[in-house]
Structure 1
Amino acid sequence: MFHRSPIQSFARHGMLVLLCVLAVFPLYWMLNSSLKNESEIFTSSIFPHKPVFSNYTYAFTQMPIVRMAFNSFAVSIMMTMLQLATSLLAAYALVRWRFRGKGVIFAILSLTWLIPFQSIMIPNYVLVNDLGLNDTLLGIVLPFSVSTFAILSLYQSFQSFPGVLIEAAQIDGMSDWSILTRLIIPNTRSTIASLGILQFINAWNEYLWPMLIAKSMNHAPLQIGLRLFVNSDTNMWGSLMAATTVSCVPILLIYLILRRQIVDSFVRFGIK
């Protein structure tokens, strides 16, 4: 059995500690800056000499932070639910049904995964604008109602599902809808939940498309609201850091509550 020397263990753990510090330090600097006044904000002090909370007061009075947090949750949840619904139907159809052109459809789906969203952003913007959905939450969600990654992930999961059980259900007279909702989904809920967590995180971090659609803070997610706040008050860096700190709290709480499931999700689909 191979045993690491104390020096190797110390170096390994020291490197991990250093990486953790590098990852956490920007968050600390954000919190530290949010507690500084305007005369101290550009200093390199590790701790604020006279902590102030006026930055938070100003941020809450100038920005509808609660409304923007609701917008972020609404957009992320709607994107996730729509992507899961369309992916479940598409993956089941590709796995269970045999029809002409199935291979071509699967190949096209796989190729669309390689197309960057920026290349189709302008046609999507024109469509959303023609539908009158500009500066609305639905306009942000609509182009992301289908996810190729989710379809291919569920396709692999459904392929490994025992076909004997599905054949037995068909003999018993169950329809395709009943097989999907009463047999396959309950037995693959861990995979679906893991995929849902990943899709929620991706939707929460989406920036470029919401930036084009959202024109006001009342219809903007948190990230876009912060950008609009920068444009309106360029020099209020303390208030910006305060608003940014508040915007990090919801997703941080979600991570603390679901950290095991989030890690499992990255392991499950990261390997694939």
Structure 2
Amino acid sequence: MAIDPPSPGAASEVAPSGELQVAGHGAHDLTLDHATIQPEPQGFGQLWKKVYEVTLGDCDPVPVMHAWRERLSDFWPDGNDLAAFRGLEPGELALIEIKAGGLKLSTGVIVIGSTATSLTFATPEGHPFAGTVELSTRRTSAGTVARVEVIMRASDPLYEMGLMLGGQRREDAFWLETLTNLSRELGAGRRPRKRTRRLDRRRRWSHARNVTRNAAVRSVVYNAKMRVTSTLHWTARRLRIRSDAPDA
């Protein structure tokens, strides 16, 4: 799965108002255009803090972070992609395609922080969770450690149900495989580890209406529309071919 490069006139940016402006990017137009950043308190589900780490050995954290940043989605599990057409700088929007079961989910993240050893994203409305993801590297007595810290609430009741029915395991598997791939690339071959802590058991029913921006639902609608359109075009071509054929 790969995100196509932008066509002339396409847009994928954060306006000064904080609203996302997305056009010419297929399903992302439907899932992201006019959305805004959705901080954790505006999510629906229980609040979680997840930390994934892998020790990489005796290497400099700065070039490790540089390589991670430059090839970010290369380390993700197969079938997932990220495209940052304007770079991964604070205030920029990156488009994402996520493989979730049999569904291709089109969403994105906004860069809210960047240093020589860290990169922090916030999620927009419609994303599976409201919160932040921080990637970082640091030197410890055991060697350089690569770390992913996720602060998350499911955005809406549908996503919360998905987390309860296996979504938490898929989230863990995604980042553990990412760190495994990074470790393998650097020749460390270390196994990553994780820590999970539930910070708040409550569900915020006042934010249940977030479901109206659910990117999974909108992705399904877009893909179904494209399949119908493709079928109609194929049928029309076949009918034209038959009508143009000479009589026997």
**Larger RCO (alpha carbons 8 Å, 6+ apart):** 1
Q: Same fold (TM over 0.5)?
A: no
Q: Comparing both structures, which one devotes a greater share of its residues to strand?
A: 2
Give the TM bin, normalised by the shorter chain.
under 0.3
TM norm structure 2? 0.21
